[in-house]
Chain A
């Protein structure tokens, strides 16, 4: 197997402060170069925290991180100062959910893109602006010369997200993170943006990890799917494997609720019960209180990671048996 672009092992993220939150608990995840991974999971399952940890964006004073993250051979958790800044936006960059909030309101689009280019590639302002123009063209923003000088509030939502993508890709990162990149947009615009992302991903050959609530979108755009629950990846595999041969009861519940007859674009919340509070690290299967198959083993120790095939993992005691039952 080729060396993975992203390799996360036993990652735990705990927030301290008024409330202690064990947001991520022993998460393993890997992504081969040039592939697209969709992360699915209920609200609060730790999707955004995982992406932000990959960019080391969480407040350092209140966040304890343990485990290992390697991206393109870089030990991400040991980075600091200039090397961390070089990694951010250079090796890995991020498209945020709400471009209106993620772009600086008083800088022009061109300036914001050029700034990243100047920072990472040491280009002069003129050359950086050329790059910004080129990027705006690549994300198919009409009349890009004019848009260079425009401010975020002067664009439509779809155009802003295109500009955000142009900014994220300006320094040719090897990995792009996108946290619900289209949730804030109209349905028709959503599809355009997703197709654009897929196209640019192929063009640049980069890896993409994106969070979505829409299984249809995951199927359409991704190569692989990781399903998260209570700060852990409970099931992962290629899109075909996960959709056709889901083994974790949580994944099955999600698919049943969302693939058959569910409204497209609806959020993932059709499984009875609520996700656990994350005040303490899990000592058993976090899904047990909601699981129809739970037995004594599930309530006494965390479930083993079953590996039904290469690149395929399921965290459930029944994963083998469920396969047999199929």
Chain B
């Protein structure tokens, strides 16, 4: 087990390197000159060369990559071209805000998804099942930025119950878990929770239905268990897969949603990313994507390890 853990950790290194290479290349393959945005229109060739050197754009690509990775490893992701502030700081602030949103969306979406999926799977082909399935399909297929706008119109514009924009007092840098801030969290979190809820519900429904149709369930009744006792076995059997699906969804949530963060002006990574793209802010874009990708790798690793721990059928050595 320990050996497996260590090996998995070692495997992360090439993955992370590959991810960084892709981030780095993506930006350089994109058309357009990143310096155009910040360069004065009447800049002389000399000034331009100076600026290129300042941002390191004059060196050959492999060297640029090497330097970039070496610095990234020490936590230095360069400076934003648009604001001149360190990218690492910008990204970390945004990551913090996205974490808040992702946590809230998970806390809403996962328990509901699990509950709905379980009930639907357990009472398969009944009215309850059909209602839950319809809800889950709607949740997954309705464009969530549209849902977000509808919620804003209903709860902010018409009813005036909840704020529509931003992360509350203090803007992007001063989140707190108090009532005033939480009011700002409700609408984006609910909007963001709908898709993972639908996906978790659908997966768990299929999973539970499948488990209940297996012979061992009959054997559990045959040895005298009642519904509650059998349900415990069903939960234990469903847990590893349900966990994997939630882990994957958490990975997506942590990536931040460009659309939802933009609709709600939520200062997270999605928002940061869209700004970086529109301003052609290369270092910011690279840094943000890199951090997000590494997050995803880390979450996958954690899910994998957790699965190994709770599923005796998986033997990883």
Instruction: Enumerate chain B residues within 8 angstroms of A119, measured Cβ to Cβ.
Output: 223-225, 229
Taking CB atoms and an 8 Å cut-off, the chain B residues in 69-103 that contact chain A are none
Instruction: Enumerate chain A residues within 8 angstroms of B312, measured Cβ to Cβ.
Output: 105-106, 108, 151
Contact in complex: A104, B218 (CB < 8 Å): no
| A89 contacts B by Cβ under 8 Å | yes
Q: Which of A92-100, A258-266, A298-306 contacts B (4 or more CB under 8 A)?
A: A92-100
| A82 contacts B by Cβ under 8 Å | yes
Instruction: Enumerate chain B residues within 8 angstroms of A106, measured Cβ to Cβ.
Output: 236-237, 240, 311-313
Minimum CB–CB distance from B182 to chain A (whole Å) comes to 38
Contact in complex: A153, B313 (CB < 8 Å): yes
| B54 contacts A by Cβ under 8 Å | no
Q: A106-119 toward B: CB 8 Å interface, digit per residue (1/0)?
A: 11100000011001
Instruction: Enumerate chain B residues within 8 angstroms of A86, measured Cβ to Cβ.
Output: 224
CA distance A93 to B225 in the complex (A): 12
Contact in complex: B313, A105 (CB < 8 Å): yes
Q: Known: A82-B226, A86-B224, A119-B225. Is A102-B219 also a contact (CB below 8 A)? A: yes
Q: A241-257 toward B: CB 8 Å interface, digit per residue (1/0)?
A: 00000000000000000
Taking CB atoms and an 8 Å cut-off, the chain B residues in 207-235 that contact chain A are 214-216, 218-226, 229, 233
Q: Which residue of A lies closest to B239 (CB)?
A: A106
Contact in complex: A89, B222 (CB < 8 Å): yes
Interface size, chain A (Cβ < 8 Å): 31
Contact in complex: A105, B237 (CB < 8 Å): yes
Contact in complex: B313, A90 (CB < 8 Å): no
Q: Known: A106-B237, A106-B313, A107-B236. Is A101-B216 also a contact (CB below 8 A)? A: yes
Contact in complex: B224, A90 (CB < 8 Å): yes
Instruction: Enumerate chain A residues within 8 angstroms of B223, measured Cβ to Cβ.
Output: 88-89, 93, 115-116, 119, 167-168
| A57 contacts B by Cβ under 8 Å | yes
Q: Which residue of A lies closest to B222 (CB)?
A: A94
Minimum CB–CB distance from B218 to chain A (whole Å) comes to 6
CA distance A107 to B313 in the complex (A): 10
Instruction: Enumerate chain B residues within 8 angstroms of A90, measured Cβ to Cβ.
Output: 224
Contact in complex: A96, B219 (CB < 8 Å): yes
Minimum CB–CB distance from B20 to chain A (whole Å) comes to 38
Instruction: Enumerate chain B residues within 8 angstroms of A151, measured Cβ to Cβ.
Output: 312-313
Minimum CB–CB distance from B122 to chain A (whole Å) comes to 14
Q: Which residue of A lies closest to B216 (CB)?
A: A104
| A271 contacts B by Cβ under 8 Å | no
CA distance A320 to B226 in the complex (A): 49
| A120 contacts B by Cβ under 8 Å | yes
Instruction: Enumerate chain A residues within 8 angstroms of B221, measured Cβ to Cβ.
Output: 57, 85, 88
CA distance A89 to B233 in the complex (A): 17
CA distance A246 to B216 in the complex (A): 38
Contact in complex: B222, A55 (CB < 8 Å): yes
Taking CB atoms and an 8 Å cut-off, the chain A residues in 60-110 that contact chain B are 81-82, 85-90, 93-94, 96, 98, 101-108
Contact in complex: B222, A57 (CB < 8 Å): yes
| B220, B233, B237 pick with most chain A CB within 10 angstroms | B220
CA distance A195 to B225 in the complex (A): 29
Instruction: Enumerate chain A residues within 8 angstroms of B311, measured Cβ to Cβ.
Output: 106
Contact in complex: B218, A57 (CB < 8 Å): yes
Q: Which residue of B lies closest to A116 (CB)?
A: B223
Minimum CB–CB distance from B80 to chain A (whole Å) comes to 50
Minimum CB–CB distance from A227 to chain B (whole Å) comes to 25
Q: Which residue of A lies closest to B220 (CB)?
A: A104
Q: Known: A85-B226, A90-B224. Is A107-B233 also a contact (CB below 8 A)? A: yes
Minimum CB–CB distance from B58 to chain A (whole Å) comes to 59
CA distance A87 to B221 in the complex (A): 11
Minimum CB–CB distance from B210 to chain A (whole Å) comes to 13
Contact in complex: B224, A120 (CB < 8 Å): yes
Q: Known: A151-B312, A151-B313, A153-B313. Is A105-B216 also a contact (CB below 8 A)? A: yes
Q: Which residue of A lies closest to B226 (CB)?
A: A85
Minimum CB–CB distance from B223 to chain A (whole Å) comes to 4
Contact in complex: B225, A115 (CB < 8 Å): yes
Contact in complex: B215, A98 (CB < 8 Å): yes
Minimum CB–CB distance from B290 to chain A (whole Å) comes to 38
Contact in complex: B215, A116 (CB < 8 Å): no
Q: Which residue of B lies closest to A81 (CB)?
A: B226
Contact of A85 among B219, B224, B240 (CB under 8 A): B224
Instruction: Enumerate chain A residues within 8 angstroms of B240, measured Cβ to Cβ.
Output: 106
Minimum CB–CB distance from A111 to chain B (whole Å) comes to 10
Contact in complex: A103, B216 (CB < 8 Å): yes
Minimum CB–CB distance from A147 to chain B (whole Å) comes to 14
Minimum CB–CB distance from A61 to chain B (whole Å) comes to 10
CA distance A93 to B224 in the complex (A): 9
Q: Which residue of B lies closest to A118 (CB)?
A: B229
Minimum CB–CB distance from A221 to chain B (whole Å) comes to 22
Minimum CB–CB distance from B220 to chain A (whole Å) comes to 7
CA distance A105 to B229 in the complex (A): 16
Taking CB atoms and an 8 Å cut-off, the chain A residues in 168-185 that contact chain B are 168, 171
CA distance A102 to B222 in the complex (A): 10
CA distance A117 to B313 in the complex (A): 25
Q: Which residue of A lies closest to B225 (CB)?
A: A119
Contact of B219 among A82, A103, A171 (CB under 8 A): A103
Instruction: Enumerate chain B residues within 8 angstroms of A55, measured Cβ to Cβ.
Output: 222
List 11 interface pairs A-B (beta carbons < 8 Å), by A numbering.
A57-B221, A85-B221, A96-B219, A96-B222, A98-B215, A105-B313, A106-B240, A107-B233, A108-B312, A115-B225, A119-B229
Interface residues of B (CB under 8 A from A): 214-216, 218-226, 229, 233, 236-237, 240, 311-313
Top 8 A-B pairs, shortest CB-CB distance: A89-B224, A89-B223, A102-B219, A101-B215, A116-B223, A88-B224, A151-B312, A94-B222
What would 8 more interface pairs be, CB under 8 Å, given A81-B226, A89-B223, A96-B219?
Answer: A57-B221, A89-B222, A89-B224, A104-B233, A106-B312, A116-B223, A119-B225, A151-B313
